[in-house]
Amino acid sequence: MQLHRVAPVIAAGILAPALLLATPSFAAAAAPAPAAVSAAVLSGEPDADELRVAIARILADPDSGRRVIREANALLDANDPEAMRAWLESGYRLAQAEDDRVAITRILADPDSGRRVVSEINVLLDANDPEAMRAWLESGYRLAQAEDDRVAIARILADPTSSPALRAAAGAALDGNNPEALRHFLEVGRYEVG
C-alpha cells in the first residue's frame, strides 16, 4: 500500500473525535472548504509536503467527485510538486466543476425532482457558471428541495382520501418548517402514519 493512500485514513483517525463532538453549525463554520485550504497553501511558498497535505484534505472531503479523486490520486502517485501546485491553482476548480455538473445532471434525471429543483437546474446548466453550480449544490438545492417538499405535503393535505392521522402528521411537518423534517416526512413519516 502506498503512503499517500494511508494519509487520509490517518488524518481521519486523528480528526474523528473532534468532528464527532462538534455541533453541525460549529463544524460547518470551523472547517474551511478544500478550495480555501488550497488557496491558503498557495499564498506562500509551500513545500511538497504542504502540497500533499492540501491534496489529501481535498481527497478527505466527502463532496469530492470522481474526477477530483482520480486527478488527486494521480498527482499523489506522481509526487511532482510543480504539477500539484498547478492543479491546486487551476486544475482542481476544473475537476470540481465537471463533478458538479455530473451531480446536478443526476439530480435532474431523478424522477422525484420537483418543479423548482428542475427549473433551477435548467437555469444553472444554461448559464454554465461553475461558481453558481457549486453554490447551488451547497445551499440552493436544499432550499429548492424544501419548497418542492412543501408542495408535495400540501397535496397530501388537499387529498380527500388522506386519513386524518396522515393529515395531522403532514400539517405538523409543514408547521415545523424544517427542510430536513419535510424530507423525512415524505420519505418515511407518511408511510408510518398511513
The three-class DSSP label of residue 146 is helix
Q: What local confidence, expressed as pLDDT, does residue 53 receive?
A: 93
d(CA 92, CA 64): 10
| Block residue for cell numbers 428542475 | 118
Q: What local confidence, expressed as pLDDT, does residue 30 receive?
A: 33
Residues 6+ apart with CB under 8 A from 56: 4, 7, 8, 11, 76
Q: What local confidence, expressed as pLDDT, does residue 112 receive?
A: 86
Q: What local confidence, expressed as pLDDT, does residue 43 receive?
A: 62
pTM value > 0.85? no
Residue-wise DSSP of the chain: --HHHHHHHHHHHHHHHHHHHS-HHHHHHHS--HHHHHHHHHTS---HHHHHHHHHHHHH-TT--HHHHHHHHHHHHHT-HHHHHHIIIIIHHHHHHHHHHHHHHHHHH-TT--HHHHHHHHHHHHHT-HHHHHHIIIIIHHHHHHHHHHHHHHHHHH-TTS-HHHHHHHHHHHHHT-HHHHHHIIIIIHHHH-
Domain segments of the chain: what residues? 1-109, 114-194
Residues 6+ apart with CB under 8 A from 65: 95, 96, 98, 99, 100, 102, 103
Compute mean pLDDT per 10 residues along the chain, 194 residues long, and list them: 42 38 32 50 74 93 91 92 92 93 94 93 94 93 94 93 92 90 91 79
Q: What local confidence, expressed as pLDDT, does residue 177 receive?
A: 84
Q: What local confidence, expressed as pLDDT, does residue 194 receive?
A: 60
